[in-house]
C-alpha cells in the first residue's frame, strides 16, 4: 500500500447531465471546504439540458493550488457512455469508484489502477420504491461511500443536508439514509480509508466559496447600478440572475419598492441600447454577455464611445469564434472588446482574477465609466464566472462615495456662462455633461453618433472632427492611470511571466515546479487596459518575458504591441486554447521547452538575478 497523502488529489465525477448529480457533487466540495481544506471545483458540462455527459472535478490542495492539474486520482464513474475514457483518464495507481451492480467488462479493466466497486443500484433498489428518487439517491449513496473512503467528517455532510433541505424536512431523513447506505457499505465491505485522504486544515482561513458571476452581480449592487438589461447566454446568465437575487434581498425598500430595474431584453443589441439609454439619463447601468453578444453590441459600443456615454459591459468569455464551444472557457475576446466598433474606437478593459476582484471591479467599473464617460468592459470567463472559487471575503468601505464624474447640476449650470458639452475644460479630454431635464434654460444638448463641435452642434468640418478624435485620445491617456494597475512581483530576476484573468490560477503551482528545475520568474498580472506605465517598465526590465494566455492568437500580446509599441520579438507566448482552464502543467512545459529549445541551461544564471538589480522585494501595485 502506498504512503498515505492528505488533502492533495484531484477527484472527478462522471455523470449524465440532468441526473441530479450537481447537488451531491457540490456538497462534496463544500464539505471539504468546511473542513478548512482549499478546494477548486470545476463543472465541465455540455451545451445540453439532459442526457449528455457532464463532469465535476475538484482539485483538493493543502498548498492552495487552485489551477487545473492534469491526471485524475479518484474517478467516480457514473456514466456508462463515457466509462472507457473515464477509466483512461486515471493516473497509474489511481482509484476507480464505480457501480459494480453489474460486473465490469473485462476489456475496461486496467491493471495499474485500483477498482472500488460499490453496488449502488442494488443498494438503492429495495430502499427507494420511486424510480425517480432512486436515480437521485444514487448520487447521495456514492457521496456517503466517499465519506468513509477518504475520511470526510460525516457530521459535516449530514449537517449540510439538514441545512440544504431546511423547510422541506421530509427530504432530510431519506437523504441521510442514502448517505448512510453508502457509508456503511464502504465501512463494512471495502478497505477504508484509502491512502488518499482528507483531514481538517486551517488553510482556508476566513475565505469564502463563490462563483465570479455571483460576486459581480453583488458588486454591481454595491456600486450603485440601478438598471440591468441582459439577454440569456452561457456563461453570463448567472451574473444577471445573481444581480436580481441579491437585489431582491438587499435593494428592496421597506414599502416593497424595488430600487432597481431589470429587463431581460429581446436580444443583446437591445440590452446594450437600454444600458446606453439609462447611462445617458444618469442611471448606473450594466449588461452581461459573452462573445456572440459582444459581436451584436458592437455598433452600440461605438456610439457610446463617440457620443461619450457611460456603460458597463461584463463579457464572460467562452470558446469562440461563432458558437464555438459555448460551455468551455477561453480568453478569446480581448481584441473584439478592446476595439469593438467600426472607425477608430478603443474601450478600457478590466481583467479580474478572483471572485473578490469581480466584486470590486463591478463597483469600480461603474465609477470608471462615469468618470471617463465611456463604455468599460470587464473581461471575465466561464472558468471564473461559473465555478465556485475560493476567495478572500468581500469588503466594503462605508465611507466610499460613488464617483459620478463630471455632471453639472442645476446650481452649477446657473454659475456658468456658456455650456459646451465637449469642451475640454480641464485638459484631461473629458467634458462636462448634463442630464436631461436639469435646467429650464441651460445645459440641453443633442447627443448624436454623428460628428459635432465642442458645443454639440452637428458639423462635418474636418478640423472639428479631427479635434474631437484627438481629444478622445487625450481621454485615453487619462484612462491609463485610472484602470486597475498591474500586480507586480519583481525580485530582480532576468526572466518573467506576464498573465491576466484566470490564467493566474495555476501560476503559483507552475512557478513552484519551475523553481525546482532552477527556473525562477518574476511575475506581472495585468489588470487593466490601456496599460499603466509600469507594464512597459516591467517588460523593459526583463530579458526574457513570457506572456501566458488562453487564446490562439496571443491577443494580449497584440494589445501590448498596439498600445505600448512593445517589440513583438520581446514577448514569448505561452498559449492554451483547448477549452479547459489552462493548467500548471501547460505553463511548466511551454516555459521548460523554451529553455530546452534554445539550449539554455535551466539555471539561475539565465533565469536568476539581473546584474545590479535591487535585492528581493515587491514592487507594489
Partner 1 sequence: MTFVAKPRVHHPQLPLNDLGLTRRDYEGSVSTLCAGCGHDSVSAAIVQACAQLSLPPHRFAKVSGIGCSSKTPSYFLSHSHGFNSVHGRMPSVATGSNLANRDLYCIGVSGDGDSASIGIGQFAHIVRRRINMLYIVDNNGTYGLTKGQFSATNDKGSTSKKGVPNLYAPIDLVSMALQIGATFVARSFSGDKRQLVPLIQAGLKHEGFAFIDVISPCVAFNNHNGSTKSYDYVRGNTGNVIEADFVTPGVEITADYEPGTIEDVAMPDGSTLRLRKLDEQYDPRDRVQALSHVQRAAEEGEVVTGLLYVDPDASDCHEILGTPSTPLNALDESVLCPGSDALERVNASLR
Which 443-502 positions form the footprint of partner 1 (CB under 8 A)? 444-450, 453, 457-461
Alpha carbons 461 and 451: distance in angstroms, whole number: 9
Segment contacting partner 1 by CB under 8 A, of 63-71, 182-190, 331-339, 395-403: 395-403
Q: Which residues contact 321 (CB under 8 A, 6 or more apart)?
A: 291, 332
Closest CA to 77 of 67, 68, 90: 90
104 binds partner 1 (CB under 8 A): no
Among residue numbers 4 through 33, which ones bind partner 1 (CB under 8 A)? none
258 binds partner 1 (CB under 8 A): yes
531 binds partner 1 (CB under 8 A): no
Segment contacting partner 1 by CB under 8 A, of 49-57, 245-253, 498-506, 583-591: 245-253
Q: Which residues contact 132 (CB under 8 A, 6 or more apart)?
A: none
Q: Copy the grid coordinates of residue 503.
A: 490564467
End-to-end CA distance of the chain: 48
Among residue numbers 407 through 436, which ones bind partner 1 (CB under 8 A)? 434-436
Alpha carbons 359 and 351: distance in angstroms, whole number: 12
For partner 1, the binding residue among 441, 463, 516, 611 (CB under 8 A) is: 441
Site string for partner 1, 556-585 (x = CB under 8 A): ------------------------------
Alpha carbons 454 and 456: distance in angstroms, whole number: 6
In the complex with partner 1, which residue's Cβ is closer, 447 or 562? Answer: 447
Q: Copy the grid coordinates of residue 298.
A: 458592437
181 binds partner 1 (CB under 8 A): no
Segment contacting partner 1 by CB under 8 A, of 5-13, 247-255, 496-504, 540-548: 247-255
In the complex with partner 1, which residue's Cβ is closer, 274 or 483? Answer: 274
Map residue 209 onto helix, strand or coil.
strand
Contact assessment for residue 522 and residue 542, using Cβ atoms and an 8 Å cutoff:
yes
Site string for partner 1, 322-361 (x = CB under 8 A): ----------------------------------------
Sign of the dihedral defined by the CA atoms of residues 601, 604, 605, 608, in that order: positive
Segment contacting partner 1 by CB under 8 A, of 6-14, 135-143, 180-188, 441-449: 441-449
Query: Cβ 213 to partner 1, closest distance in Å?
Result: 13
Segments in 9-153 forming alpha helices (H): 21-34, 83-88, 120-124, 131-149
Site string for partner 1, 373-392 (x = CB under 8 A): --------------------
Q: How many CB atoms are closer than 10 A to CB 109?
A: 11
Alpha carbons 348 and 105: distance in angstroms, whole number: 56
For partner 1, the binding residue among 108, 208, 325, 613 (CB under 8 A) is: 208
313 binds partner 1 (CB under 8 A): no
Q: Copy the grid coordinates of residue 455.
A: 458645443
β-pair type (522-526, 5-6): unpaired
Closest CA to 613 of 516, 538, 514, 525: 538
For partner 1, the binding residue among 146, 157, 303, 511 (CB under 8 A) is: 303
Query: Cβ 475 to partner 1, closest distance in Å?
Result: 20
Q: Copy the grid coordinates of residue 545.
A: 518575458
Alpha carbons 176 and 483: distance in angstroms, whole number: 50
Query: Cβ 593 to partner 1, closest distance in Å?
Result: 40
Query: Cβ 435 to partner 1, closest distance in Å?
Result: 7
Query: Cβ 200 to partner 1, closest distance in Å?
Result: 15
Among residue numbers 211 through 240, which ones bind partner 1 (CB under 8 A)? 218, 221-222, 224, 226-227, 229
Amino acid at each position: 500500500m502506498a504512503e498515505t497523502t492528505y488533502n492533495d488529489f484531484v477527484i472527478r465525477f462522471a455523470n449524465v447531465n440532468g441526473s441530479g448529480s450537481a447537488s451531491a457533487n457540490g456538497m462534496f466540495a463544500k464539505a471539504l471546504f468546511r473542513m478548512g481544506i482549499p478546494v477548486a471545483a470545476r463543472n465541465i458540462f455540455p451545451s445540453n439540458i439532459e442526457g449528455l455527459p457532464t463532469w465535476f472535478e475538484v482539485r483538493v490542495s493543502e498548498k492552495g493550488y487552485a489551477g487545473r492539474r492534469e491526471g485524475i486520482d479518484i474517478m467516480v464513474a457514473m456514466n456508462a457512455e463515457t466509462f472507457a475514457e473515464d477509466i483512461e483518464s486515471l493516473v497509474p495507481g489511481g482509484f476507480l469508484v464505480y457501480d459494480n451492480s453489474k460486473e465490469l467488462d473485462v476489456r475496461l479493466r486496467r491493471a495499474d489502477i485500483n477498482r472500488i466497486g460499490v453496488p449502488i443500484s442494488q443498494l438503492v433498489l429495495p430502499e427507494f420504491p420511486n424510480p425517480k428518487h432512486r436515480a437521485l439517491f444514487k448520487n447521495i449513496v456514492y457521496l456517503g461511500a466517499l465519506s468513509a473512503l477518504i475520511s470526510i467528517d460525516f457530521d459535516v455532510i449530514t449537517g449540510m443536508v439538514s441545512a440544504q433541505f431546511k423547510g422541506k424536512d421530509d427530504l432530510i431523513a431519506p437523504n441521510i439514509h442514502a448517505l448512510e447506505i453508502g457509508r456503511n457499505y464502504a465501512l463494512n465491505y471495502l478497505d477504508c480509508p484509502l491512502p488518499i485522504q482528507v483531514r481538517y486544515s486551517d488553510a482556508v482561513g476566513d475565505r469564502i466559496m463563490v462563483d465570479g458571476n455571483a460576486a459581480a452581480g453583488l458588486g454591481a449592487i454595491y456600486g450603485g447600478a440601478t438598471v440591468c438589461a441582459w439577454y440569456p447566454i452561457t456563461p453570463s446568465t448567472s451574473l444577471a440572475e445573481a444581480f436580481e437575487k441579491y437585489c431582491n434581498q438587499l435593494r428592496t425598500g421597506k414599502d416593497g419598492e424595488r430600487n432597481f430595474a431589470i429587463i431581460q431584453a429581446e436580444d443583446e443589441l437591445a440590452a446594450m441600447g437600454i444600458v446606453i439609454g439609462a447611462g445617458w439619463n444618469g442611471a448606473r447601468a450594466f449588461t452581461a454577455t459573452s462573445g456572440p453578444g459582444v459581436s451584436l453590441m458592437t455598433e452600440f459600443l461605438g456610439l457610446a464611445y463617440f457620443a461619450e456615454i457611460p456603460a458597463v459591459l461584463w463579457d464572460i468569455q467562452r470558446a469562440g469564434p461563432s458558437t464555438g464551444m459555448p460551455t468551455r472557457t477561453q480568453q478569446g475576446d480581448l481584441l473584439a472588446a478592446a476595439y469593438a466598433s467600426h472607425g477608430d474606437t478603443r474601450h478600457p478593459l478590466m481583467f479580474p482574477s478572483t471572485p473578490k476582484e469581480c466584486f470590486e471591479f463591478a463597483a469600480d467599473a461603474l465609477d470608471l465609466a462615469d468618470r471617463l464617460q465611456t463604455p468599460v468592459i470587464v473581461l471575465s470567463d466561464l472558468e471564473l464566472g461559473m465555478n465556485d472559487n475560493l476567495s478572500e471575503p468581500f469588503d466594503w468601505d462605508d465611507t466610499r462615495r460613488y464617483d459620478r464624474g463630471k455632471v453639472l447640476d442645476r446650481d452649477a449650470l446657473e454659475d456658468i456662462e456658456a455650456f459646451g458639452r465637449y469642451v475640454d475644460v480641464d485638459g484631461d479630454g473629458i467634458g462636462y455633461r448634463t442630464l436631461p431635464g436639469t435646467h429650464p434654460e441651460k445645459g440641453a444638448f443633442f447627443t448624436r453618433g454623428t460628428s459635432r463641435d465642442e458645443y454639440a452642434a452637428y458639423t462635418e468640418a474636418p478640423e472639428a472632427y479631427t479635434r474631437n478624435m484627438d481629444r478622445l485620445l487625450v481621454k485615453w491617456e487619462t484612462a491609463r492611470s485610472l484602470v486597475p494597475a498591474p500586480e507586480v512581483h519583481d525580485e530582480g530576476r532576468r526572466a518573467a511571466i506576464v498573465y491576466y484573468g484566470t490564467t493566474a490560477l495555476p501560476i503559483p503551482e507552475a512557478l513552484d515546479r519551475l523553481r525546482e528545475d532552477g527556473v525562477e520568474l518574476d511575475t506581472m498580472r495585468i489588470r487593466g487596459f490601456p496599460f499603466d506605465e509600469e507594464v512597459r517598465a516591467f517588460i523593459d526590465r526583463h530579458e526574457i518575458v513570457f506572456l501566458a494566455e488562453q487564446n490562439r492568437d496571443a491577443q494580449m500580446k497584440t494589445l501590448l504591441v498596439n498600445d505600448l509599441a512593445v517589440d513583438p520579438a520581446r514577448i514569448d507566448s505561452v498559449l492554451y486554447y483547448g477549452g479547459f482552464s489552462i493548467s500548471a502543467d501547460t505553463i511548466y512545459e511551454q516555459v521548460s521547452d523554451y529553455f530546452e529549445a534554445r539550449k539554455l541551461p535551466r539555471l539561475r544564471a539565465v533565469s536568476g538575478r539581473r546584474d545590479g538589480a535591487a535585492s528581493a522585494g515587491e514592487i507594489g501595485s
